[in-house]
Amino acid sequence: MLNPEQKIAVYMEGHIDSDYGKMGTGVVRYLKNPIVGVIDKTLAGRQIREFMDTSKEVPILASLKEAISKGAEVLVLGIAPSGGRIPDAWNSVIGEALENGLSIVNGLHDLLQPQWGVKIKNSEKQWIWDVRVPQFVPAIAKGKVAKLENKRVLFVGTDMAVGKMTAGLELYSWLQKEQVNVGFVATGQIGITITGHGIPLDAFKVDHACGAVEQVVLEQADKEVILVEGQGSLLHPGSSATLPLMRGSCPTHLILCMRADKKTLRSPEQIRIPDLNAFIALNEALASVEGTFPKAKVIGIAANTSMLSDEEAETFLKATSAKTGLLVTDPVRFGIDEIGQQLL
């Protein structure tokens, strides 16, 4: 877990404006630590707000050396390459960081500690945090969460990387401002890095995944509202995350997340996103299983419209709302307060 006073540098070389940069984008947008800069030599000299919605003043730097000169104490690997593998090209940056006394946050499946731990110079101040390492072996889930009387909101998606974590953190922030007793269950590397707790769901064995979700939700049983960060999609052939999230959290509410510019999956593109109303009904049916578990209804849609103009975005949101009969918003661009009010 990060000390909130530590100064951060975020490594995003070549991916500030790509889907692979979502770790860095999430860290810049939501991490409370001071961020000295984002590293990308091709865009050095510019501000990160030119590439993402944020009010933070974060410069783009040419090198790790420049970040160190600005006081960086921790390097966050802010890119998630396909398969979660650490490219060999990163070795020089990792080595330079450890040589200069920096700690490292790594959210990829490849672990740094086994290979690079010996390079740590001061074990009292310097560390490597491999975020995707499960911290416990859970019991097999037993549906205990279904007996809780609070509201449990699960974020589901039409695809991977459509903004489930972003929508969750935006709603979490709004509910905190409304002084609601709210908890946030992080289930991926970005959410864990930002909040300091949670589970790397995709690093658990399949048989343990539901139990892991159940355990961390039960740990927040005293909360009036529990927000559960979504992962993957029922539609994606490479994703198995949604069902354990449903079974482990026994949600009472769902929020659907999507990208406004996509009619197919990002990859494989031959898989078309089905009719939204039918897809919503599918998620609701699987969550409740004909009343076996709590009846979870989709109460709103969070759409990423960052690729559209203001006029195009507003047209899309209105059309989607008319089609589904639901509240539809872009949480970053237009806020999530209406969905929050609907929830309460």
Domain residue ranges of the chain, discontinuous segments joined by + = 8-130, 144-343
Q: Enumerate the β-bridge partners of residue 156.
A: 256
pLDDT at 315 over 90: yes
Q: What's the pLDDT score for residue 148?
A: 98
Query: What is the DSSP-derived secondary structure letter of residue 48?
Result: G
**Helical axes 242-249 vs 206-218, angle rounded to 10°:** 40
In tens, the pLDDT along 115-169 reads 999 999 888 899 999 999 999 999 999 999 999 999 999 999 999 999 999 999 9
9's enclosing H/E stretch is strand 8-11
Residue appearing with tokens 């974060």: 58
Q: Yes or no: is domain 144-343 CATH 3.40.50.300?
A: yes
- The Cα–Cα gap between 225 and 207 comes to 27
**Sequential DSSP letters for 127-154:** -EEETTS----PPPP-SGGGG--SEEEE
Q: Kindly state the tokens that stand for 158.
A: 């039409």
Q: What's the pLDDT score for residue 85?
A: 83
User: What is the Cα 17 distance to its own chain's centre?
Assistant: 17
Instruction: Tell me the mean pLDDT in the region 324-336.
Output: 97
Q: What's the pLDDT score for residue 82?
A: 67
**Helical axes 164-177 vs 22-30, angle rounded to 10°:** 10
Instruction: Tell me the mean pLDDT in the region 241-261.
Output: 98
In tens, the pLDDT along 182-198 reads 999 999 999 999 999 99
Residue 255: φ, ψ to 5°: -125, 125
C-beta atoms surrounding 41 within 10 Å: 12
CATH of domain 8-130: 3.40.50.720
**Sequential DSSP letters for 223-280:** -SEEEE---S-TT-TT---HHHHHHHH--SEEEEEEETT-SB-SSSTTSB---HHHHH
8-130 shares its CATH topology with 144-343: yes
Rounded to the nearest integer, the mean pLDDT of the chain is: 96
The burial class, CB within 10 Å (0-12 / 13-18 / 19+), for 333 is: middle
In tens, the pLDDT along 47-92 reads 999 999 898 999 999 999 999 999 999 999 999 876 678 888 899 9
- The Cα–Cα gap between 235 and 279 comes to 9
Q: Which of 86-90, 136-140, 238-242, 317-321 has the lowest mean pLDDT?
A: 86-90
Instruction: Tell me the mean pLDDT in the region 212-235.
Output: 98
In tens, the pLDDT along 6-59 reads 999 999 999 998 878 989 999 999 999 999 999 999 999 999 999 998 989 999
Q: Enumerate the β-bridge partners of residue 151.
A: 225
* Whether the bond into 268 is cis, omega within 30 of 0: yes
Residue % of the chain over a pLDDT of 70: 99
The model's pTM is 0.94
C-beta atoms surrounding 229 within 10 Å: 26
For residue 58, the SS3 value is coil
Closest Cα to residue 164, out of 245, 106, 237, 86?
245
